[in-house]
Amino acid sequence: MADVKLPPARILAIETSCDETAAAVLENGRALLSSVVASQIDLHVQYGGVFPEVASRQHIRTIYAVVEEAVQRAHLSLSEIDAIAVTRGPGLAGSLVVGMNAAKGLALALNRPLIGVNHLEGHIYSAWVYQGDTVNPPPAPEFPLMALLVSGGHTELNVMTDHLTYRRLGGTLDDAAGEAFDKVARLLGLPYPGGPSVQKAAAGGNPEAFTFPRARLEGTWDFSFSGLKTAVLRVVRQLEEEGKSLPVSDLAASFQTAVVDVLLQKTLRAARETKSRAILVAGGVSANTALRLAFTGQTEFPVFIPAFTLCTDNAAMIGAAGYFRYALGARDPLDLDVLPTWPLS
């Protein structure tokens, strides 16, 4: 597909897999015309995580206003949309159903194709999206590439030899990287969502204050973060027993450094061994500044990381992946079901 001339198309995309109600309009798989994300964080903060029923009901209230705003901001009318892309899974069933039904309604009313997209594939394709200058678009990622996906529910390495083609090398055996950030935030008494809170606390801390374990799992491409989380817990308990106050910033910085170190070293090694031409990092944790600096700071491989605003859940990424599926001829029926658990490869 790499050399095939791709058809022009404007995709309206919808994403409701978890706690963000999102819609976007994307041209030709890369140029972002609009992206609207209605966050539900304020509703879930009292539960310390996402409350599924609250999430789906909030999607119902917000979805049409979000879609309308995305189309308006793109300065288009609905009749100028060529296809509707929607997240089919993985995610919370009740949340996915709301976006899926909205997408089906639009596809039916506009007589346009419906395209179901894997949320993980969406995260990867966020690296293709650019905003602004359409005359000199930034270069697209080149194949073969090593894709590191680091989100709240997934941490995995995939080789991509072409569009929409994934060979999974390995993944986490326990906690996902984002999950580890969220759990450590809770241990340190930092607010939900944990990743940004840990990053903020780490900014004033010494990353060498504590030497936390790095599970290298030599001989495999898998990851494990539960030992690291337990090591943080042990230090927290000991300090509490001794009646000492927690050096939250130092703990956050030391933890963050350990996570980034493992992710970078393993990805570099995988890219070398598979003779990849580039590295791609995507998913919510790719918003982490220390992680971005570590990957862009190495000079061995070109690195593609989505714009900061496209790292966490959004619909632009679903529009990008949806476009390449559309270009390949993918069309889904109007009785398409959601897939709450749906691996990428």
Q: Which residues bind Zn ion (CB under 5 A)?
A: 151, 313
79, 110 in Cβ contact below 8 A?
yes
* Amino acid letter, residue 227: G
Total chain residues near ligand KG4 (CB under 6 A): 21
Taking CB under 6 A as the rule, does residue 193 contact ligand KG4? yes
Least separation in angstroms between residue 332's CB and ligand KG4 is: 21
HSE of 305 in the Cβ direction (CA atoms, 13 Å)? Answer: 22
Choose, by CB under 6 A, the member of 263, 285, 321, 327 that binds ligand KG4. 285
DSSP state of 130: E
Contact partners, residue 339, CB within 8 Å, separation at least 6: 88, 89, 90, 96
Q: Is 99 in the site for ligand KG4 (CB under 6 A)?
A: no
Using rule CB under 6 A, residue 89 touches ligand KG4: no
Among 181, 223, 295, 323, binds ligand KG4 (CB under 6 A): 181
Among 48, 196, 247, 340, binds ligand KG4 (CB under 6 A): 196
Which region among 59-67, 133-141, 211-219, 279-287 touches ligand KG4 (by CB under 6 A)? 279-287
* E strand map for the chain: 10-15, 20-27, 31-39, 83-89, 114-118, 130-131, 145-150, 155-160, 167-171, 278-282, 303-304
Partner in contact with 287, chosen from Zn ion, ligand KG4, none, beta carbon below 5 to 8 Å by kind: ligand KG4
Nearest one of 220, 181, 222, 226 to 200, comparing CA atoms:
181
Closest to Zn ion by CB, 151 or 254: 151
* The only residue of 287, 310, 315, 318 in contact with ligand KG4, by rule CB under 6 A: 287
Nearer to ligand KG4, 118 or 276 (CB): 118
Query: Which option in Zn ion, ligand KG4, none does residue 121 bind, with CB closer than 5 to 8 A by kind?
Result: none
Q: How far apart are CA 16 and CA 122, in angstroms?
A: 12
Q: Which one of Zn ion, ligand KG4, none interacts with residue 285, CB within 5 to 8 A by kind?
A: ligand KG4
Asked whether position 19 contacts ligand KG4 by CB under 6 A, the answer is no
CB of 95 to Zn ion, least distance (A): 12
Residue of 156, 182, 250, 332 interacting with ligand KG4 (CB under 6 A): 182
Residues in the chain: 345
Shortest Å, Cβ 177 to ligand KG4 = 7
- 22, 78, 179 from 323: Cα distances, Å: 17, 17, 30
Query: Is the alpha carbon torsion for 100, 11, 19, 226 positive or negative?
Result: positive
Q: Cβ closer to ligand KG4: 29 or 195?
A: 195
CA 66-198-245 angle, to 5 degrees, is: 140
- How far apart, in whole angstroms, are the C-alpha atoms of residue 115 and residue 30? 17
Q: Which does 182 bind (CB under 5 to 8 A by kind): Zn ion, ligand KG4, none?
A: ligand KG4
CB of 145 to ligand KG4, least distance (A): 19
Residues from 135 through 164 that contact ligand KG4 (CB under 6 A) = 151-153
Task: Kindly report the three-state secondary structure assignment for every residue of 22-80.
Answer: EEEEEECCCEEEEEEEEECHHHHHHHCCCCHHHHHHHHHHHHHHHHHHHHHHCCCCHHH
Interacting residues with ligand KG4 (CB under 6 A): 18, 123, 151-153, 178-179, 181-182, 193-196, 199, 283-285, 287-288, 312-313
